[in-house]
C-alpha cells in the first residue's frame, strides 16, 4: 500500500518561487527531490506574494483542510517573515511580537489538527538593515518552534553567507533569486526535509 503523503507549503513569495524561470522555487525543488528519493507525495504550493504572517494566519487553515484529508499523512511547511519585517511608512509591516504570536498560533492549530509542521526561516536579501530585523525574528521563531516541538530550519544565516545566493538576488530585484539561487536554497534544506518526511518525530540536525 502506497502511503498517501500530502504536503502544503504556506507562506510568501519565496514559497511561491517568484523569480524562478522554472516556476519551482525551493518548495517545488524539495518535492521533486522527495519523488526522486522514492518518496511519492502530493505537493501543494500555497505561497502568496507580499503576504505577511497576519494575512497568512487568517487564511492558511481553510486552504489546507481542503487538501489534507483524514487518513492521509498530512504535513505543513511554513515560511514567512520577510514581508513582516519590511519597512512601510517608517515601521515594519508587522510588529515582531505579532509575528511571533502568528507563528505560535499556526503551529498550535497544525498540532490540534493532527498534522505535522516544519518551519523554514525567512531568507536574506541585499538590505543589511532589513537582514538585521530578519535575524532577530529568526531567533524568536527558533524559540517558538522549540516550544511547539516543531523542527525549524535556520536557513537565514547560511544563505546570507552563500555567495551564489547573494549574487543571484543582487542580479534580480534584491530579494528573489533565479533558478541558481533557488537551487542553493533547496540544497541547503534537502537533507533535513527528506529526514523529516521519513520520520517527522526525528530530531533534525542544525542547518549550517
Q: How far apart are the C-alpha atoms of 140 and 85, rounded to whole Å?
A: 13
pLDDT at position 94 is 98
pLDDT at position 43 is 97
Q: Which residues contact 157 (CB under 8 A, 6 or more apart)?
A: 124, 135, 138
pLDDT at position 1 is 44
pLDDT at position 200 is 86
CB 118 within 8 A of CB 151: yes
pLDDT in tens, the chain (208 residues): 458 999 999 999 999 999 999 999 999 999 999 999 999 999 999 999 999 999 999 999 999 999 999 999 999 999 999 999 999 999 999 999 999 999 999 999 999 999 999 999 999 999 999 999 999 999 999 999 999 999 999 999 999 999 999 999 999 999 999 999 999 999 999 999 999 999 888 777 556 5
Q: How far apart are the C-alpha atoms of 101 and 90, rounded to whole Å?
A: 22
Residue 127: helix, strand or coil by DSSP? coil
Amino acid at each position: 500500500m502506497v502511503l498517501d503523503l500530502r504536503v502544503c507549503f504556506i507562506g510568501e513569495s519565496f514559497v511561491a518561487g517568484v523569480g524562478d524561470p522554472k516556476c519551482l522555487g525551493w518548495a517545488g525543488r524539495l518535492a521533486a527531490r522527495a519523488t526522486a528519493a522514492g518518496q511519492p507525495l502530493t505537493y501543494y504550493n500555497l505561497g502568496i506574494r507580499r503576504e505577511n504572517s497576519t494575512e497568512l494566519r487568517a487564511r492558511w487553515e481553510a486552504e489546507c483542510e481542503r487538501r489534507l484529508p483524514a487518513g492521509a499523512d498530512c504535513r505543513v511547511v511554513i515560511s514567512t517573515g520577510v514581508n513582516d519585517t519590511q519597512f512601510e511608512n517608517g515601521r515594519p509591516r508587522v510588529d515582531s511580537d505579532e509575528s511571533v504570536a502568528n507563528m505560535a498560533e499556526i503551529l498550535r492549530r497544525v498540532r490540534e489538527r493532527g498534522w505535522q509542521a516544519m518551519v523554514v526561516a525567512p531568507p536574506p536579501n541585499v538590505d543589511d538593515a532589513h537582514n538585521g530585523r530578519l535575524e532577530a525574528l529568526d531567533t524568536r521563531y527558533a524559540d517558538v518552534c522549540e516550544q511547539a516541538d516543531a523542527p525549524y530550519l535556520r536557513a537565514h544565516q547560511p544563505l546570507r553567507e552563500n555567495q551564489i545566493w547573494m549574487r543571484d538576488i543582487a542580479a534580480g530585484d534584491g530579494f528573489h533569486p533565479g533558478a541558481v539561487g533557488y537551487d542553493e536554497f533547496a540544497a541547503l534544506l534537502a537533507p533535513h526535509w527528506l529526514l523529516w518526511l521519513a520520520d517527522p518525530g526525528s530530531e533534525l540536525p542544525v542547518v549550517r
